Structure 1
Amino acid sequence: MTHPITSPTPHDNPHDTPHHTPHHPAAPLPYGTPDTPRLAVRGEARLEVDPEIARIFVTVTARGTDRNTALTDLTRRNNEALALIKSYGPAVEKLETGAFSIHPQLTYNGRNERIRAYHGSVTLTATLDDFTALGELTTRLGDLDLTHVAGPWWALRPDSPAHRTARTQAVHEAVQRAREYAEALGARLDAIVELADLGAENTAPVAPPAMAGYGAPPAPANPGGPAGGAPALDLQPQRQTVYANINARFTMTRPAL
């Protein structure tokens, strides 16, 4: 009896193995798909709130025909200003000494020059959270000899709740705006893809609003006025503007076009 000769199949060879193409998941498209569109919106908030602190800048000056006299007078006036500010106790949240300088004033006579006098100054910065005491303190500082007072500059603390409120409102506005766009297309929001502060994605940051009063020269005080003779200034706090801006990206369901 003879047996038919058959050709071997690929699987009959033990050295042959089936070839499988590896499966790689498709990478998500950066701009969405027709079934899962993406939309990008901006959320903005702008609040008007009362200030929490006020800063005043006090510059004490002195002048003398010699260096020692100028330094002695400057030290005395600086101590007087410090004592007056500290007398307001808890109303003064912070007291700092800034720049100190002493320099000669030269006069020229032909080819010669000589020192005519010495000028000295010390700058103090006082931060107050009691605005009732602020007007009285400002007036009393202005009564001191050769003392300049500038301010007040109103501000919020860095950890003020107003900043959080503005950010929260900006997020809510972004969601509401995105939802309105989706509904206009007969779709609905599906998920949030990204949320970022404006300027956090290599874009130009939004410049904060300029604080009113900065850059103005110090206002000269009334030198030599009687202590306690001038009435307290009636200072009206300047309301502060708080901004928040974000970019948000969402996915939505397929529009019903």
Structure 2
Amino acid sequence: MPVNTQAGEPRRPPFNAEAARRLREALGMTPAHVAYGIWAAFGMRTAPETVASWERGESSPSEAELTALAGALWCTPGELLGAPGTLREYRLALGLAPVDLARRIGMEASAYERLEAGGKWRGNDRQAAALAEVLRLPLPALLRFTGRDEKLAELLTSAATTRWQAYVRPVGKLVPLPRQQIQGVLRDLHGEYQATMTATLNWGDGGSAEESGRAGRALLDDIVAEFWARTGRQDP
């Protein structure tokens, strides 16, 4: 169901309406009780009809409203969110303000806010490690947020299309996984790609050759996702 937002309003968190309703009912509260709790604890005037609208998925709370709703329902903001996909959503899931997160990872607040708005990662390895620890980021998400997934894609593409053995160490520097696991995945990706492209030669100019060529290109297009899937580290 579409969520109503005001024109020009910042993108709202991925609200889990069903979780909000379930948590409220478990506490034996009505939407009016929740609305009162939001006002009493956070000073935010919220109509019971608004709370009910959130639960029906007709609208969703803003970041401030989400924090207040979590307080009224005695839960964490993360319990009211769907699976996080952006840096902002990971932060909201833990109920952290941008300035607090920036302080904990040793970054200027303005620099972090630019990053969350879609800017490029300008931090160092220590800050990246702190970001992963504070936000409990899966490895694929960390590489994506720090802009290293593009380099990973280049390395994986080269491994699949040339000599995979030469890329075990470079990939290992980028992705802290066991060397043996990386070797196995690169070998498999290389073997699958080469077998697909060999099929295009065997079939000549027929439709099967074209189909094999498409399969090979598709593998390269999704090679980062394939890599994470084969290492058991899918990106949410």
For this structure pair, what is the TM-score category when the shorter chain's length is used for normalisation?
under 0.3
Q: Which has the higher contact order (CA 8 A, sep 6+)?
A: 1
Give the alignment's TM-score, normalised by structure 1. Answer: 0.23
Greater strand percent: which structure? 1
TM-score by length of 2: 0.25
